[in-house]
A = this chain, B = another copy of it.
Amino acid sequence: MTMQRAAAATRAPGRPRSEKAEKAIIEAALDLLAEGAGMSDLSIEAIAHRAGVGKTTIYRRWPGKEELVLDALTTLKAPVPDFGELSVRDALVSYLTFIQHESDHPRTRCIMNIAMSERERYPSMVERFYRLAIEPRRIALRATLQRGIDNGELRPDLDIETAMAAVTGSMIYFTKWHHGNELPADLPERIVDGLLEGFKAG
């Protein structure tokens, strides 16, 4: 029993790493990213200075920028919403509203920026980030659409993959190319209703 306690109590000798420093580093990295820095502009030195931390303290924890940014971004991972109670139409509206709200805040907006723009240069980082933060949403969205098919709200022969692309892609398109300062509040409804109805006449 004593041995068990000793075994349980075993931890690395020496001063333990400061959680405070770790948080400050993540915060600093997110701040800088939110201020518009891309991966290349984001310097370890700037992060360290902003966090009030020595560079060593960063390199002790992460081998490089890539891994640090991955950790920083995943802390922003919002919980996947649960649309169990809503109609499929309302669930999709909620889903897009959720995305729209994210793109209003600099911190969460930078998530998608990084994920979309740095894929070619940091494929493994983006890939891992995708699995942690994007995939769960896709699964939730897919489940919602499947539920719509199952309960008769949606066409039984609906191509779920292209439907997902249409829903999410529409929103991305607007957040990227909308030329005003803010997206209209009823955008999610307009998108969803337009897609449900289809383009064809008659």
CA A166 to CA B163, docked complex, whole Å: 10
**A194–B16 alpha-carbon span in the complex (Å):** 57
Against B, the Cβ 8 Å flags (1 = close, 0 = not) of A146-170 are 0010001111101100111110111
Measured between alpha carbons, how far is A107 from B185 in the docked complex, in Å?
Answer: 37
- Taking Cβ atoms with an 8 Å cutoff, the residues of A that contact B are 36-41, 113, 116-121, 130, 134, 145, 148, 152-156, 158-159, 162-166, 168-174, 176-177, 187, 190-191, 194-202
Contact, CB under 8 Å: A153 / B194: no
Copies of the protein in its oligomer: 4
Is the Cβ of A163 less than 8 Å from the Cβ of B36? no
Q: How far is the CB of A69 from chain B (nearest CB, A)?
A: 14
Within the complex, what minimum Cβ distance (angstroms) separates A4 from chain B? 28
A191 to chain B, nearest CB (A): 5
